[in-house]
Structure 1
Amino acid sequence: MKNNSTQQKKPRLPPGQHETKQFPVLQKGSIAHINRKDYQLKIEGEIEHPKIFSLEDLKKIKDLEITEDIHCVTSWSKFDTRWGGVSFKKIFNILKPKSSANFVEFSCADDNFTTTVPLERLLDDNAILAINFDNLPISDKHGGPVRAIIPNLYFYKSAKWVIKITFLEKDRLGYWERQGYSNDANPWKEQRYTSDD
């Protein structure tokens, strides 16, 4: 009988990554500062029920807490980050994406930053529209009041300062993707640049 302990486990660090205990702050432009009291998230596009959520609305429907490793395309990884918010599965149940919806675009408050992910990646159990980090409201520097967390992709797909979500039939390249970064952004395949896709 084989000893199961000899079977190899998947490593926590994807290829080319190193662990950091810090939480580096990186963004395209300057840190966005959003008035939380007046915050609005507009969701539109290929959905049956377009909607605008306030931060209080999102707090009322919060349904998920996750602890996940995150991986930045610049090669750092941080283990066991804790996020709370609304699962994308719950959002989909409210908004009812149409059969024509294949991609989801995040638009952000920092200098018109956008990124797009396939809708199916948001059906992962750990994909979340986060409003908390370490049981506290997300700070401005880490993307608050609301950011996407999609741990199975490089972290530039986890958009900060999200103010609009658009459901799309066809893919639309975001800011970093237009600069030559991978649109697939799979850290386990080390898809950092377009040439890696």
Structure 2
Amino acid sequence: MGKTLPPGQFETNKWPILHEGDVYKFQEENWNFKLFGDIKEEITLSYQDVMNLPKTVATIDMHCVTTWSKFDTTFEGIAFREFLNFVELEKDVKYVKIYGYLNGDRFGYSANLPLEALLGDDALFVYKWKDQNHDWQEISPKHGYPLRFIPPASFYLWKGAKWASGIRFMKEDEAGYWEKRGYSMTANPFKEERFS
């Protein structure tokens, strides 16, 4: 079945590397994953806590705002929805911010997303990948090791986060790192929502 390329995109078989700031150097003893915001109680998970969560394997198409699209990359990771089992959301939570390390600041990078879009198999915190040219392998530090959030294909890839470090639950939508710099809050590649 043919895939639909979003407007203004070209298809690539490579997985290009683009990110802000330095490549994060993972040290397990210093790493944790925070769940906070509009929830009854803040939760901090260790690396082992996160890696012990149920695993999901899903094939997700990636669309980067810099105009490349990569179809059919298969990831292994932890579905976003698994983290909902740890928290009691306050009433009217409809958005989240997904955080990642940027130049040593664990909350330096962020991307805002609607909560309801993240409940399927295609919203994954990933650590392994494969495609038609690669067998299973860990994601590299440049790709976001130890944990990278890959958003559903209905969002440009900047809505993901390399070196993922936490989720903040929110009642109101709030601009993340690129959104504050003029990028679209909703970021649908099929509607070419690149800029606000």
Report the TM-score range of the alignment, normalised by the length of the smaller protein: 0.7 to 0.9
Partner Cα separation in structure 2 for residue 165 and residue 74 of structure 1: 25
Report the equivalent of 1:164.
Answer: 166
Identity %: 37
Partner Cα separation in structure 2 for residue 83 and residue 11 of structure 1: 18
User: Would you say 1:138 and 2:157 are equivalent positions?
Assistant: no
Partner Cα separation in structure 2 for residue 129 and residue 66 of structure 1: 11
CA contact under 8 A between 1:49 and 1:94: conserved in structure 2?
Answer: no
Partner Cα separation in structure 2 for residue 22 and residue 155 of structure 1: 15
User: Would you say 1:28 and 2:29 are equivalent positions?
Assistant: no
Distance change (3 Å), C-alpha of 1:138 and 1:97: farther
Moved more, 69-78 or 34-43: 34-43
CA contact under 8 A between 2:56 and 2:121: conserved in structure 1?
Answer: no
CA contact under 8 A between 2:77 and 2:125: conserved in structure 1?
Answer: yes
Please give the secondary structure, in 2, of the residue aligned with 1:175.
coil
Report the equivalent of 2:133.
Answer: none
Please give the secondary structure, in 2, of the residue aligned with 1:109.
strand
User: Would you say 1:17 and 2:5 are equivalent positions?
Assistant: no
Distance change (3 Å), C-alpha of 1:32 and 1:98: same
Report the equivalent of 1:57.
Answer: 49
Question: What runs of 5+ residues in structure 1 fail to find an aligned partner?
Answer: 1-8
Partner Cα separation in structure 2 for residue 90 and residue 65 of structure 1: 13
1:106 partner amino acid: I
Larger strand proportion of the pair: 2
Report the equivalent of 1:193.
Answer: 195
CA contact under 8 A between 1:46 and 1:100: conserved in structure 2?
Answer: no
RMSD between aligned alpha carbons?
1.8
Question: What runs of 5+ residues in structure 2 fail to find an aligned partner?
Answer: 131-135
Moved more, 153-162 or 79-88: 79-88
Partner Cα separation in structure 1 for residue 6 and residue 157 of structure 2: 13
1:133 partner amino acid: W
Partner Cα separation in structure 2 for residue 178 and residue 76 of structure 1: 23
Report the equivalent of 1:173.
Answer: 175
Taking structure 2 as the reference length, the TM-score comes to: 0.87
